[in-house]
Amino acid sequence: MTLLSIRGLDVRFVDDDALGRPRVARALNDVSFSVERGEILGLVGETGAGKSLTAQAVMGLLRAPARRQAGSICLGDTELTELGEDAINGLRGTAMAMVVQSPKTSLDPLCRIGDQIVRIQRAHRPVDKATARRRAIELLGLVGIPDPTRRAKAWLHELSGGMAQRVLIAMALANDPRLLIADEPTTGLDVTVQTQILDLLRQLVLEKGMGLMMITHDLGVVAHYCDRVAVMFAGTIVESGPVRDILVAPSHPYTQALMAATPERIAQGQRAPAAGAPPDLFALPAGCVYQQRCRFADDMCRTTPPRVALPQGGEVLCHHADRIKHG
């Protein structure tokens, strides 16, 4: 069952240059993917690729100068782009929720942990304080916080980074969302705690049948935890499909470059990715967005690349996909 469906999403940033002339950045370009119920989709790419912006668009959190120019975002049967601000606010935190990468700046240092979970419940549904408090303690236990009754009375400064991240997850689960978005949920945590948090998220997806969109730059995380992956470069999904297919035999040179940049590949002396910065979003090249960094680029790449269907429902944007996959 498709839980989230994004089709042809375009987001633009409009501002002025140094001379006061308006200019437009093509921040997201024809972004299309879906998340199924009980599935983990990995949205992967380097910093600035547009991953977090995609999440903000889904959650209805785009703010000026960003604006959606085109495209559809459906949560189940609900077209989110047609809803007003009040309706989106009603879905955010209930039908869909987001776990961000900075728990220490996302939690209120002046409010006890349990009270914050109570507050988010009562903001969205009629529930008395006693019931909401019992639910808060239950959620803290669910996410693996020991002695949840005592921890519910704790302040933010009394929590470790890993514990604070678990609290954020508990808050996200407070109103039983169908879709959970995790934006780099283990940034800044040590390896052991990272594994615990990611194991917890996978367990919750399996037990509750949610859909999870996990934003990351770590292909190791994608390989171990995700069912499908969408690879993003310069605001464009350049390759997508089942993890077992994409990471075993990538068909796009950028996916190859990301894989070559993993510590394991570099340690083995395998070729590192091509150098170069992402293209200027205010002046994207005609044709393929990756052409300036691609060793396969030729004259044909100055025309828009085709969407080439891959096995098991995947697709890639590349004129040379077959050559790359089998070469």
| Domains by residue range for the chain, with CATH | 2-95+177-326 (3.40.50.300)
Phi-psi region of 153 (alpha: psi -120 to 50; beta: other; left: phi over 0): alpha
Confidence at residue 266, expressed as pLDDT on a 0 to 100 scale: 44
Whose structure tokens read 């790419």? Answer: 45
Closest CA to 206 of 180, 185, 187: 180
Task: Phi first, then psi: give them for residue 70, nearest 5 degrees.
Answer: -160, 165
- Identify the burial level of 63 via C-beta atoms within 10 angstroms of its C-beta, where 0-12 means exposed, 13-18 middle and 19 or more buried: exposed
CA separation for the pair 160, 196 (Å, rounded): 14
Confidence at residue 267, expressed as pLDDT on a 0 to 100 scale: 44
pLDDT in tens, the chain (327 residues): 899 999 999 999 998 888 888 899 999 999 999 999 999 999 999 999 999 999 999 999 999 899 999 999 999 999 999 999 999 999 999 999 999 888 888 899 999 999 999 999 999 999 999 999 999 999 999 999 999 999 999 999 999 989 999 999 999 999 999 999 999 988 878 889 899 999 999 999 999 999 999 999 899 999 999 999 999 999 999 999 999 999 999 999 999 999 987 755 544 545 455 556 788 999 999 999 999 999 899 999 998 888 888 877 889 999 998 888 776
Helix axes 113-124, 129-142, angle to 10 degrees: 120
Confidence at residue 28, expressed as pLDDT on a 0 to 100 scale: 98
Confidence at residue 38, expressed as pLDDT on a 0 to 100 scale: 96
Phi-psi region of 256 (alpha: psi -120 to 50; beta: other; left: phi over 0): alpha
Q: What is the DSSP letter of 311?
A: G
CA separation for the pair 111, 34 (Å, rounded): 37
Confidence at residue 275, expressed as pLDDT on a 0 to 100 scale: 54
Tokens of 140: 């803290």
Sign of CA dihedral 227, 9, 60, 185: positive
Confidence at residue 263, expressed as pLDDT on a 0 to 100 scale: 59
pTM of this prediction?
A: 0.91
Phi-psi region of 243 (alpha: psi -120 to 50; beta: other; left: phi over 0): alpha
Closest CA to 197 of 178, 170, 218: 170
Helix axes 191-208, 161-173, angle to 10 degrees: 10
CA separation for the pair 62, 58 (Å, rounded): 9
Closest CA to 183 of 216, 149, 134: 216
Q: Are 198 and 204 in contact (CB under 8 A)?
A: no
User: Order of strands across the sheet with 96-99?
Assistant: 96-99, 179-183, 211-216, 40-44, 228-233, 236-242, 315-317, 307-309
Contacts of 200-209 with CB under 8 Å at 24 or more apart are: 200/143, 200/144, 200/166, 200/169, 201/40, 201/169, 201/225, 202/40, 204/169, 204/173, 204/180, 205/38, 205/39, 205/40, 205/180, 206/38, 208/173, 208/176, 209/37, 209/38
Task: Phi first, then psi: give them for residue 126, nearest 5 degrees.
Answer: -75, 105
CA separation for the pair 252, 229 (Å, rounded): 13
